[in-house]
């Protein structure tokens, strides 16, 4: 939470700088105000506590009363929260609070769509490292709120041997061998494969997770048959809402989708002053 508070502080500093010129010119500092955060379209709410922290950092006396919690499914026109405090503080905090609430709700909403499309299969929707720099913790939180799961958080908490790693050391087998020599015995090793020959090689190394990268549905089905529960199977690459169900039905365990963080659309949420 300390990292998130620091991030918000930096975001506010970026937006406000030495002061909000418009508010200073228009609003007497002792004027009280009330406002509402309103969903302008259907969405999965994520980030209400983050928005509250924005208002609190601008003015600790601002009160944010949430009517819903993260994970709630909201319809258009829903009043997410009521805000009261100094009017100048509400207006100064508005943009940063909305930016974060809109962004996180967008990720949660898109993630939920992927999760819904795979309902009834054993596949879990997972995120990737394709996140906004500095926002990874919050964006991965929003994925969880949407019903998805987190892949590794960064380079430091998982071994994932990809095509460039394999090219750098000469072979998939050599890459797994080196990783096995250095990795703690408690850490799983994942390898990326692009064809069935690599799948067979990955199986022979004893890799605990095998990623099927940009494979067609029929090739993926054959890969699942070859692996035959000897490793967890992750599908990745070229997956969208139109084909995610087909991918899930091949029998893979995990489906990683970079789009749920790098391409999620910010949801339409507004703040409306109610006592002006």
Active site residue 162: yes
* Catalytic pick among 130, 144, 180, 245: 130
Active site residue 127: no
Reported as type and span, the H/E element at residue 86 is: strand 79-86
Separation of alpha carbons 222 and 209, rounded Å? 16
Active site residue 3: no
* Catalytic pick among 34, 95, 144, 180: 95
* Catalytic pick among 70, 192, 201, 253: 192
Active site residue 192: yes
Separation of alpha carbons 14 and 7, rounded Å? 11
For 145, phi and psi rounded to 5 degrees? -60, -35
Contact (Cβ atoms closer than 8 angstroms) between residue 38 and residue 73: no
* Catalytic pick among 144, 162, 221, 230: 162
Active site residue 182: no
Structure tokens at 1: 């939470």
Helices and strands in the chain: count of H runs, count of E runs: 11, 12
Structure tokens at 243: 């084909």
Angle at the Cα of 207 (from 180 to 131), degrees rounded to 5? 90
Beta bridge partner(s), residue 153: none
Catalytic residue set? 95, 130, 162, 192, 213
């Amino acid at each position: 939470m300390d990292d998130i508070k620091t991030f918000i502080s930096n975001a506010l500093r970026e937006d406000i700088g030495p002061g909000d010129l418009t508010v200073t010119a228009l609003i007497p500092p002792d004027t009280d105000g009330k406002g509402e955060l309103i969903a302008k379209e259907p969405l999965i709410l994520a980030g209400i506590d983050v928005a509250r922290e924005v208002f609190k950092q601008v003015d600790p006396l601002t009160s944010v009363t949430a009517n819903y919690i993260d994970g709630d499914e909201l319809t258009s026109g829903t009043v997410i929260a009521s805000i009261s405090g100094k009017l100048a503080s509400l207006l100064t905090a508005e943009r940063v609070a909305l930016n974060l609430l809109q962004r996180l709700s967008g990720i949660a909403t898109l993630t939920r769509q992927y999760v819904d499309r795979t309902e009834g299969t054993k596949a879990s929707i997972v995120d990737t490292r394709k996140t906004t720099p500095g926002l990874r913790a919050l964006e991965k939180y929003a994925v969880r709120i949407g019903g998805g799961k987190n892949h590794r958080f960064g380079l430091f908490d998982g071994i994932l041997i990809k095509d460039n790693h394999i090219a750098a050391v000469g072979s998939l087998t050599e890459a797994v061998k080196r990783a096995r020599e250095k990795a703690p015995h408690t850490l799983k090793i994942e390898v990326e494969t692009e064809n069935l020959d690599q799948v067979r090689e990955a199986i022979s190394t004893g890799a605990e997770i095998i990623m099927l990268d940009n494979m067609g549905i029929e090739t993926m089905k054959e890969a699942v048959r070859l692996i035959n529960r000897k490793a967890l199977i992750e599908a990745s690459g070229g997956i969208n809402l139109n084909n995610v169900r087909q991918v899930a039905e091949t029998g893979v365990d995990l489906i990683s989708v970079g789009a749920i963080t790098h391409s999620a659309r910010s949801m339409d949420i507004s703040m409306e002053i109610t006592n002006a």
